[in-house]
Amino acid sequence: MRKLTRLLALLLCFFAFAEACGEGYAEGGITMARPSTTGALHVEGAKLLGQNGEAVQLKGISTHGIAWFPQYVNAECFQAFASWGANLVRLAMYTGEYDGYCAGGDQEKLKALIRQGVAAAKQNDLYVIVDWHILSDNDPTTHKEEAKQFFAEMTAEFGDDPSILYEICNEPNGGTSWGTIKAYAEEVIPVIRENAPNAVILCGTPNWCQFIWEAAADPITDFDNLMYTMHFYAGTHKDDLRNAMREAVEGGLPVFVSEYGLCDASGNGALDLESTKAWMDEIDALGISCAMWNLSNKDESSAVLQPSCTRTSGFSDGDLSGSGLWLRDMLKNWSGT
């Protein structure tokens, strides 16, 4: 009888231990980061770390332009992704596109959407990126003053909130040099730092966030907790860019993939799952954080919802596109959910 009791006690201990190990940890021993567990993030060398120095990897989804798809910027919607194991959402606010922040968009409404998105992310215990989504405006200095004002106002409200990361320019392009981007960053970062001294800041790199080696050769040294963004679309970008990503990280550059897609760089076209696998294997091997483009039902293959899906939360299998199904399975496997 006593033996049986001891055996039962042992078994209970074992299950309690297994449960404790399973909780909060993704496979491979990397901490499953959440604001409630890993708190304020910081950057050390090429690594993103949690409040206790633990290596963290963030994975999740980027919204489409919040001006165009505001219906997905709410807690019920984000809950679907959190339930699959996501710990990150990115709020993409276009600046130069139609209805963008600097292109006649309703700035008050856009700021309200950012607040709403941040609150929705926090409700779901997700980290959240506030993304100043330059694109057709090519060069971040085009709207530098607006950027400074926007970040000053937002950070004055959010303070040093550990859930929030700031992405100061999505994808510089049109020949914008790293020198120009760096000078822009050196003006915008202090504005953010005034209210959010510890927030992780993401900075774009030349040629739609591909020429990360240019940032690696001449990094921004005056500020800490800074990462450099690299974007890939698996149908378009292959070994060359992936090797550049690995080299940059191995050389000590903190890289964050704040946007990627399974299709081609137009955001449409066939999903290249083989190339995607090669990318994700490398991303996991290096512990890089990443957000998939995009949360919408737009008729393009990068959208995670079917064009016919009118639901904005509680998605069923039939609501998900090929990209959506892939994201769900990837997140579930990764997080063990």
Segment 260-279, which members bind ligand IDC (CB under 6 A)? 265-267
Name the minimum Å distance from CB 211 to ligand IDC: 14
Question: Minimal CB distance to ligand IDC: which residue?
Answer: 267
170 part of the interface to ligand IDC, by CB under 6 A: yes
Among residues 46, 60, 72, 97, which is the contact residue for ligand IDC, using CB under 6 A?
97
- 3-class DSSP state for residue 133? strand
Question: How are the residues of the chain apportioned to helix, strand and coil, as percentages rounded to the nearest 5?
Answer: 45, 20, 40
259 part of the interface to ligand IDC, by CB under 6 A: yes
237 part of the interface to ligand IDC, by CB under 6 A: no
Active site (annotated) includes residue 171: yes
135 part of the interface to ligand IDC, by CB under 6 A: yes
Q: What letter represents residue 274's amino acid?
A: E
Q: Which residues pair with 290 in a beta bridge?
A: 59, 257
Among residues 203, 298, 320, 335, which is the contact residue for ligand IDC, using CB under 6 A?
298
Q: Which residues pair with 89 in a beta bridge?
A: 61, 128
Among residues 167, 171, 272, 284, which is the contact residue for ligand IDC, using CB under 6 A?
171
302 part of the interface to ligand IDC, by CB under 6 A: yes
Q: Which is nearer to ligand IDC, 40 or 265 (CB)?
A: 265
DSSP for 220-251, please give it.
--S-SSEEEE--EETTT--HHHHHHHHHHHHT
CA 231 to chain centre: 11
Q: How far apart are CA 272 and CA 287, in angstroms?
A: 22
300 part of the interface to ligand IDC, by CB under 6 A: yes
Q: What number of CA atoms fall less than 13 Å from residue 86's CA on the CB side?
A: 26
Q: DSSP label at 136?
A: T
Q: Which is nearer to ligand IDC, 99 or 125 (CB)?
A: 99
Q: How far apart are CA 334 and CA 328, in angstroms?
A: 10
Contact at 8 Å (CB) between 163 and 35? yes
What sign results for the dihedral spanned by CA atoms 304, 306, 309, 310? positive
Q: Which of 97, 171, 214, 300 is catalytic?
A: 171
Among residues 101, 233, 256, 279, which is the contact residue for ligand IDC, using CB under 6 A?
233
| 98 Cβ contact list (under 8 Å, min separation 6) | 104
Name the minimum Å distance from CB 258 to ligand IDC: 9
103 part of the interface to ligand IDC, by CB under 6 A: no
Q: Which of 97, 167, 214, 259 is catalytic?
A: 259
Active site (annotated) includes residue 19: no
Which residues are part of the catalytic machinery?
171, 259
Binding site for ligand IDC (CB under 6 A): 97, 135, 170-171, 208, 231, 233, 259, 265-267, 293-294, 298, 300, 302
